Amino acid sequence: MLDYHLHLWPHSQHEVEATVEQVAAYCDRAKAAGVHEIAVTEHLFRFTQARDLLGGFWDELDGDHLRPGMAAYWDHHATVDLDAYVEVVEAVKKEGLPVVLGLEVDYYEDRMDQVEGLLAGYPFDVLLGSVHWMGTWRFDVLSDPLVLAEWDVRDIDQVWDEYTRAMEELGASGVCDVFAHPDLVKIAGRRPKVPDEFYDRITEAAVKSGMAAEVSSAGWRKPVGEEYPAPPLLRRFVDAGVPLTTASDAHSLPDVADRAGDLRSLLNNAGVVNLQGYHQRKGYAVPVEEAAPSGQVAGD
């Protein structure tokens, strides 16, 4: 099993610094849970380099009443040096611990070429692609009353269509390797009566782009109370041959490898034999029931 979606800090934490000891502790906790390789994938918007390149992008987006919240969100988060983060994770890799270097990269409309340029000089193993906002609406920040109120006034079919369109465009950009929490839009428990069209489009986006899709326990910790992706979407991924990773989306040590056994059972029941690991942005097969293919060691 893998845990290919891990953050080093909760969103509430402002002043943060990556340490070798912290990443090593993540490795130890994952191993104790039967997960044999992890990817540290901090949010791109945590880094000052992203702020310098992309800051203010929200001024071009719809949603005037939500724009101050987006600006404050970035001011709170963008405090970490990307080079220092990379150095720490690479140091843990050199110690022989089973970790790969990654990032979670949001979709930035008409700016993905800039994102690609920023990341090109770094030795990333895997890049997760995700959609966390539509216009200035950070739809998954359910602790914000203004964000939450939007769920009551928006047409749910239109919300899902906008989210799916962003996923399609993210895949077409070619910047990332894995769709993180591919149906995150269900987080508040609001779904179309017939979501099949959106499941089909998300699956097609993965197939066309060659991206893998994440199977994540994080949804069990959210109001929706369901893993990502929903069973019908997972079935589509499997039938279409979309490679899969597994993840906890932890933001602190206690949630690392959260419910890894339940994810394993889901995959077994779906007939999934192999996951997909990454090294230097290249995928390789990882048996669900084993640490890695014969002869493959993280960092080799």
Beta-strand ranges (E) seen in 183-260 are 212-216, 244-247
The predicted structure's pLDDT at residue 15: 86
* 3-state SS, residue 294: coil
**What's the rounded Cα separation, in Å, for the pair 275 and 290?**
10
Q: How many C-beta neighbours within 10 Å does residue 69 have?
A: 18
Q: What is the pLDDT of residues 26-75, one digit of tens each?
A: 999 999 999 999 999 999 999 999 999 999 999 999 999 999 999 999 99
* 3-state SS, residue 183: coil
The predicted structure's pLDDT at residue 226: 98
Please say if the pLDDT value at position 111 is more than 70: yes
**What's the rounded Cα separation, in Å, for the pair 108 and 244?**
24
Strand 274-279 and strand 244-247: the pairing is unpaired
The predicted structure's pLDDT at residue 79: 96
User: Which residues is 127 bridged to in the sheet?
Assistant: 103
The predicted structure's pLDDT at residue 289: 81
**What's the rounded Cα separation, in Å, for the pair 274 and 284?**
9
User: The pTM is what?
Assistant: 0.95
| Domain residue ranges of the chain, discontinuous segments joined by + | 2-287
**What's the rounded Cα separation, in Å, for the pair 210 and 118?**
22
Task: Please compute the mean of the pLDDT values over residues 216-227 and round it to a whole number.
Answer: 98
CATH node for 2-287: 3.20.20.140
Amino acid at 14: H
Q: What is the pLDDT of residues 267-300, one digit of tens each?
A: 999 999 999 999 999 999 999 985 433 334 333 3
